[in-house]
Amino acid sequence: MSSDTVIEAKGLTKTYGRAVAVDHISFSVGRGEIFGLLGPNGAGKTTTILMLLGLTDISGGEVSVLGFNPAREPLSVKRRVGYLPDTVGFYDQLTAADNLRYTARLIGFRFAEREKRIAEALEQVGLSDSADHAVGTFSRGMRQRLGLAEILMKGAQIAILDEPTSGLDPHATTELLSIIRRFKAEGVSVLLSSHLLERVQSVCDRVALFSAGRIALMGTVSELGREVLGAGYVVDIEAEGAGLADRLALIPGVSGVEQTGIGKLRLHADRDVRPEAAAEVVAMRGRLKYLGVQEPSLEAIYNHYFESKPDEAPKEGTRHAA
């Protein structure tokens, strides 16, 4: 594996008796990348994560995390990887700082380093003021942030987050996603699983869509959009200027122009035509107010994919979620 790949899975399989939970999946995650494992509950996301951490046996295939084999060298993997489980729990009677102290002792940090790391981590997730409050009084969003603080404190190179945003209100979700982006800024790779497609779309560099234990689709959201929806780019323009629609229609690659409102136009194109569109408006001495490209919606991709392949659609009740 290359030095820029932190997680590499090949034909990873997990079976429970005759039931197959994860079926020969292969993927890789690069350094500093945010990789999303998306799919309905019970599609095998959590099982995959537990195999990466060496917390459950691997039935078949190979996996390497930072060059270590989680089944053979779990301690090396767990020392370098932070994990935020689905609905993370803390010891309610202990304070936030004490909960982190326990983890820090388990990791083996010495006293001075421990206190410094804990204070920094709590600061970064905005929990400094609640450091000495019992976790029992924390909201769900605060617990999730405390879980991220634990990963920060650990100084992990990879953060594995299982359903980090489920059950959070929009404000808490936004906060959490901004912390996750900060992980990326610090060069930490993030593997996150979710069944909430829209939310995750905004942070993930690449995604893998899980279905019934397999990866149905993998790539960047726009790649998947073109592959599945077949649609090209949709560019919205808000500008003033006579005859603008006709001029824009002449841009190579534009297949159609429609009026969506007063001074609002929508272009359908097979590539990103924003630069040319902007140049046209400016050339006409028009006033450009808005120019944007619509990302394909992950939800649309997902639904479209499984509508077109009903035999692969996730079946209810075949497998049980975490």
Sequence-ordered strand ranges (E) for the chain: 5-16, 19-30, 34-38, 60-65, 81-84, 158-162, 189-194, 206-211, 214-219, 233-240, 254-261, 264-269, 287-294
Contact 221, 227 (CB under 8 A): no
Q: Which of positions 218-237 make contact with other proteins (CB under 8 A)?
A: none
CB 159 within 8 A of CB 84: yes
Residue 144 touches other proteins, criterion: CB under 8 A: no
Instruction: Figure out which of the listed residues 31, 86, 214, 272 binds other proteins, where binding follows CB under 8 A.
Output: 86
**Interface with other proteins, residue 134, by CB under 8 A:** no
Which of 101, 304 has the CB closer to other proteins?
A: 101
Q: Which is nearer to other proteins, 156 or 273 (CB)?
A: 156
Q: How far is the CB of 90 from other proteins (least distance, A)?
A: 7
Nearer to other proteins, 73 or 205 (CB): 73
Task: For the CB of residue 135, give the shortest distance to other proteins in the complex, in Å.
Answer: 10
If phi > 0 it is left, if psi is from -120 to 50 it is alpha, else beta; for residue 263 that is left
| CA separation for the pair 132, 147 (Å, rounded) | 16
Per CB under 8 A, does 17 bind other proteins? no
- Give the C-alpha separation, 316 to 305, whole Å: 17
Which amino acid belongs to residue 254?
V
- Interaction of residue 88 with other proteins, rule CB under 8 A: yes
Closest distance between other proteins and the C-beta of residue 68, in Å?
9
Closer residue to other proteins (CB): 140 or 226: 140
* 53 is a contact residue toward other proteins (CB under 8 A): yes
- Would you tell me which residues interact with other proteins (CB under 8 A)? 46, 50, 53, 55-56, 72-76, 78-79, 81-93, 102-103, 105-108, 147, 150, 322
